[in-house]
Chains A and B, each alone.
Chain A
Amino acid sequence: MRRSSRRRRLLTGLILLAALIVFLFPVVWMILTSFKSNSEFFAYPPVFVPKSFALTNYVNAMRMPPDGRGGFQGVRDSLIVSIGSMAASVLLGAPAAYSFARYRTGGENLSFWVLSTRMFPPVASALPLFLVFKALHLLDTHLALIIANTIFNLPFVIWLLKGFFEDLPVELEEAAVIDGTTIFGAFRRVALPLVTPGLVATALFSFIFTWNEFMFALLFTRSDVRTLTIIVPSLVGGHEILWGQVASVGVVAIIPNVLLALLLQRFLVRGLTLGAVKG
């Protein structure tokens, strides 16, 4: 490779520095705002760095109404729904992915049908699901959101894990089967342990997708269940917006995303393109 000139390297540095500022500023601004008092938010010229970094906004935002903004309920409900849908998708999806990868069960059409369900516009399935959940008295429950999110997580899990299983050499499973293990045994005791990193990554991706999901949470819940993605916009809608407190709920809402982004780094390319590009 040619050595780039000093001037070219300086240009690269400047471009990337500008990019970092643009792509990080909104997040940094939310974090700064989460520590601001109301008078600091409503100031002009804007206050960039708040005077104190006290956790008052966080404490108030986490408490239940009428004193607080109910952020704690958001954390609880987001966790329940995200973990529930992740568990359901992995438990159902892993054996299916193995079956598709090794035995081409149902042929290419079946696995493509599975993938195509992920591409459904959620708004198209929202109305019928709403009517079903209403009939079954499931509106405003965690279960409704777990079921609805599984529509999108299950195909994702199957498709991504299928790729991971296909990457494994087949000889070990063959040996196990020849030694008298059942096919399910070869899956559970040989293949599954070998794809553990991919399995964990896939599960965490589906956790994040549900954690970020908004439309179903908006339509299928009211008061008993309120995920973090519902609480933030609902607090921006009113007359008196307590920006500092809303921002602190926002910061809490992105903590898992930032942590998991670091954990998932190796798998990001694959996960975000449904395995179409492998990083």
Chain B
Amino acid sequence: MASRLDEELVAERPRVETARRPRLAPLLMALPAVVTLAAITLFPLLYTLRLTVVSWELTTGFPPQFIGVQNFVRVLTLDPRFWNAMMNTGVLVLVGVGLQALIGTGLALELNRLTRSRVWVLSLLLTPVMIAPVIAGFQFRMILNDQYGPLNYLFDAATHGHFHGFAWLADPHAALWAVMATDVWQWTPFMTLITLAGLQSMSGELLEAAEVDGATGPQILWRVTLPLLLPVIIIGILVRFMDTFKLFDIVYQLTGGGPGSVTETIAYYTYLQGFKFFSLGYTAAMSVIQLIVITIVAQVFLRYQKRTRGGATA
């Protein structure tokens, strides 16, 4: 796989120069997409904003009532379950994505040592990335099955029966780690893929120069290779941050948020409020909070992407 970072797309992008510079045709070409996108995203956004100021409980049958900012007050100060979900999401993002970056980069460094077999090993490793998270959750549900799952059997054989029947998904201390394990399993190869691309785009000259100057293997790794890889790793972490923040499918399939509400993520809790408890105004307030967080991270991602496009890196 010949790879390179997109550094050469520097500020000046080519455009088709014409004598009269007609402006209408490009506008017409962009219009259908922009109008469609606006229609299917702006309406939900505006409607959500309007809902945040009302109390609207579908289960009671009362019409919506204006309550100002009380939904936000309730979410942020009176709802431990919201903060529990936020904490869980935070752990999944910080620890989970951190692990993906660590293991993923480690594997990429190993893969980079291979020659002919690299492409094959990589494409086999990438299988988890492409499959639906719901299916990944299903696979882990079988593997973690307390009575018949292969994982407990393995531990059981190794510990002479201490692990028999350990219920990973029903244990309040283990369940969140099971969710994280599934997500880490699915996305570590993604981090491997992109850090490997970064490694391959690195010029051999720099590494050789370091070697000629007498740098040892670990020195080259920590002082040359990893700093050069950092922009790619950061892009990967930001992409994974935005995805993990929305984590829903795996929780739904693996634990259903349980036991109790131990494994509820913010996306899962919002789903419960909206589609199980039918608290529409409250759901809208939580949605807006998530939108704010995601918008901030997305801005960082876009800024960062623009900067690396400027050609400062790798």
Contacts and interface: CB of A to CB of B under 8 A. Distances in A.
Interface of A: 1-2, 4, 8-9, 12, 15-16, 19-20, 22-27, 29-30, 33, 41-46, 48, 92-93, 95-96, 98-106, 110, 112, 114-117, 119-132, 147-148, 150-151, 154-155, 158, 163, 166-167, 169-170, 173-174, 177-178, 182-184, 186-187, 208, 211-215, 218-219, 228-229, 232-233, 236, 243, 246-247, 250, 253-254, 257-258, 260-262, 265-266, 268-269, 272-279
Given A24-B124, A147-B40, A243-B142, A170 B242 contact: no
A247 B246 contact: no
A250 B139 CA distance: 9
B34 A257 contact: no
B16 A183 contact: yes
B284 interface: yes
Contact of A266 (B1, B198, B207, B287): B1
A214 B232 CA distance: 29
Contact of B16 (A33, A166, A177): A177
A99 B249 contact: no
Given A183-B26, A257-B131, A104 B5 contact: no
A263 B226 CA distance: 30
Given A15-B107, A268-B193, A183 B22 contact: yes
Contacts of B67: none
Contacts of B136: 26
A151 B45 CA distance: 12
B302 A120 contact: no
Interface string B94-119: 00000000000001001101100001
Nearest to A27: B127
B252 A120 contact: no
B211 A236 contact: no
B2 to A, nearest CB: 8
B131 A170 contact: no
Interface string B11-31: 001111110001101110110
Interface string B135-158: 111111111000111100100000
B290 to A, nearest CB: 5
Given A102-B26, A114-B34, A229 B132 contact: yes
Enumerate the 3 nearest inter-chain pairs by beta-carbon distance, A residue then B residue, closest first.
A96-B33, A124-B287, A170-B14
Interface class of chain A by DSSP: helix
A194 B280 CA distance: 48
B27 A99 contact: yes
Contact of A277 (B6, B274, B295): B6
Contacts of B294: 119-121
Contacts of A265: 1, 119, 123
A110 B44 contact: no
A127 B132 contact: no
Contacts of A218: 252
* Residue among A131, A178, A212, A279 with the highest chain B CB neighbour number at 10 A: A279
B37 A215 contact: no
Given A277-B5, A278-B4, A123 B287 contact: yes
Interface in B179-206: 185, 188-190, 193-194, 197-198, 204
A100 B30 contact: yes
B107 A96 contact: no
Contacts of B137: 233
B142 A99 contact: no
B306 to A, nearest CB: 8
B254 to A, nearest CB: 10
* Residue among B43, B138, B246, B301 with the highest chain A CB neighbour number at 10 A: B138
B141 A236 contact: yes
A277 B22 CA distance: 33
B253 interface: yes
26 contacts: A1-B207, A27-B131, A29-B150, A96-B30, A99-B30, A102-B15, A106-B30, A112-B302, A119-B294, A121-B246, A121-B287, A121-B290, A121-B291, A123-B248, A123-B290, A128-B44, A167-B9, A184-B25, A186-B16, A214-B249, A233-B138, A257-B130, A258-B127, A269-B3, A273-B235, A278-B4
Contacts of A150: 36, 40
Contacts of A166: 9, 13-14
A102 B48 contact: no
B138 A277 contact: no
Contacts of A131: 47
B134 interface: yes
Contacts of B70: none
Contacts of A128: 43-44, 47-48, 51
A42 B291 contact: no
A23 B124 CA distance: 8
Nearest to B119: A265
B134 A232 contact: yes
